[in-house]
Amino acid sequence: MSEKMQAIMKTKPAYGAELVEVEVPKPGPGEVLIKVLATSICGTDLHIYEWNEWAQSRIKPPQIMGHEVAGEVVEVGPGVDTLQEGDYISVETHIVCGKCYACKHNRYHVCQNTKIFGVDMNGVFAEYAIVPAKNAWKNPKNMPPEYATLQEPLGNAVDTVLAGPIAGRSTLITGAGPLGLLGIAVAKASGAYPVIVSEPSEFRRELAKKVGADYVINPFEEDPVKAVMDITNGAGVEVFLEFSGAPKALEQGLKATTPGGRVSLLGLFPREVTVDFNNLIIFKALEVHGITGRHLWETWYTVSSLIQSGKLNLDPVITHKYRGFDRFEEAFELMRAGKTGKVVFFPHKG
């Protein structure tokens, strides 16, 4: 007998999504079925919801949205010997080939054939979801689902913040959206000081302070470079972490970084950006990192340990919690308006 479940589905190639009732799927070979305990909205889900150019080129409706998740394995498909019923898991969203040049060099985070869970296939904004077993990450039973679902984006933040030494280092974070806020939490837990955050939204500057930022700056009202120089007695910051994707923030951050400092770039720019390489990077001997995805699986161990240490201040980052999906449109619109940190759904109402 088949069972039904609720799911947020991208039903049409247009703005928005629909709450639909569909059959609970059966896991195929190499797959497990999970009961979704918590699932959170990523900026990528927002792009799919808005149906921007990238989404139009990549998503094939009808498709269940969502990829950040914590869930319990309720059925195991044929050939799966790494998981069993009752396991409590999250999911690495990058499904890598294991065969390409990058994979053969253990650089799975830049696999040339990466498929993305919840982007290139059905995802987890549903009461139950199919997960490829090889991408499951087992959680300790006592980790709250609302934290466990954040591990995937936390992995982006961890790889950005911990791409070089951070303890005791002055740090500038540009952009306090959901990822920048997670970055602040990781930087503070890792001993960065002072953590200076540049963010135009007052709501998000307040969140940044709650997460632990030592100084917050509105870059639309004061010059972040001057503010950083004042705070650091003219030295500039040792570490610049870019989480906004704003070209102006990149320029300001490079100017505010001390010569010989470290720059880690996660934010994605809307277009090509022009940078004065000679004066802002080469003659300053900056160490510059591009950050993408998560190192498999080192980053997951770090994220899990940081959460279990109790040192990550995640509660202020989670601004909205919804039981069930009934109000999903409100959640997406609030996020679009920049009036949220992380938004978490608990699909089962009981």
- Triad 125, 9, 344: Cα angle to 5°: 25
Which region, judged by CB under 6 A, interacts with ligand NAI, from 62-70, 124-132, 176-184, 232-240? 176-184
3 state DSSP class of 23? strand
Contact between 281 and ligand AKB by CB under 6 A: the answer reads no
Establish whether 268 is an annotated binding residue. yes
CB of 332 to ligand AKB, least distance (A): 15
Q: How far is C-alpha 84 from the geometric centre of its chain's CA atoms? A: 27
182/312 Cα distance (integer angstroms): 9
Neighbours of 336 (CB within 10 A): 12
Q: Are 314 and 185 in contact (CB under 8 A)?
A: yes
Neighbours of 7 (CB within 10 A): 29
Neighbours of 226 (CB within 10 A): 13
Establish whether 67 is an annotated binding residue. yes
Length reported for the chain: 350
DSSP label at residue 145: H
CB of 310 to ligand AKB, least distance (A): 25
* Closer of 22 and 116 to ligand NAI (Cβ): 116
| Binding residues for ligand AKB restricted to 155-214, rule: CB under 6 A | 156
Q: Could you give the maximum distance between any two Cα atoms of the chain, in Å?
A: 70
CB of 110 to Zn ion, least distance (A): 8
Establish whether 242 is an annotated binding residue. no
* Closer of 178 and 224 to ligand AKB (Cβ): 178
CB of 41 to Zn ion, least distance (A): 9
Amino acid letter, 166: I
**Contact footprint for Zn ion (CB under 5 A):** 42, 44, 96-97, 100, 103, 111, 113
* Closer of 224 and 293 to ligand AKB (Cβ): 293
Active site residue 44: yes
| Binding residues for ligand NAI restricted to 247-266, rule: CB under 6 A | 248-249, 266
317/328 Cα distance (integer angstroms): 19
Q: Taking the C-alpha atoms of 15, 19, 24 and 26 in order, what is their torsion angle to the nearest 10 degrees?
A: 10
Active site residue 274: no
Per the structure block, which two tokens stand in for 17?
Answer: 């999504």
* Closer of 154 and 192 to ligand AKB (Cβ): 154
Contact between 118 and ligand NAI by CB under 6 A: the answer reads no
| Binding residues for ligand AKB restricted to 8-67, rule: CB under 6 A | 42, 44
Q: Which of 11, 39, 47, 295 is an active site residue?
A: 47
Establish whether 68 is an annotated binding residue. yes
* Closer of 52 and 279 to ligand NAI (Cβ): 52
CB of 104 to Zn ion, least distance (A): 8
Q: Are 130 and 30 in contact (CB under 8 A)?
A: no
214/208 Cα distance (integer angstroms): 9
- CA–CA distance from 210 to each of 115, 174, 182, 334 (Å)? 36, 16, 12, 20
91/332 Cα distance (integer angstroms): 22
Establish whether 103 is an annotated binding residue. yes
Please pick, from the candidates 236, 245, 261, 293, the single residue that binds ligand AKB as defined by CB under 6 A. 293
Catalytic residues: 44, 47
Binding-site annotation, residues for NAD(+): 179, 199, 204, 266-268, 291-292
- Binding residues for ligand NAI, per CB under 6 A? 43, 156, 174-180, 198-201, 204, 219, 243-246, 248-249, 266-268, 291-293, 338
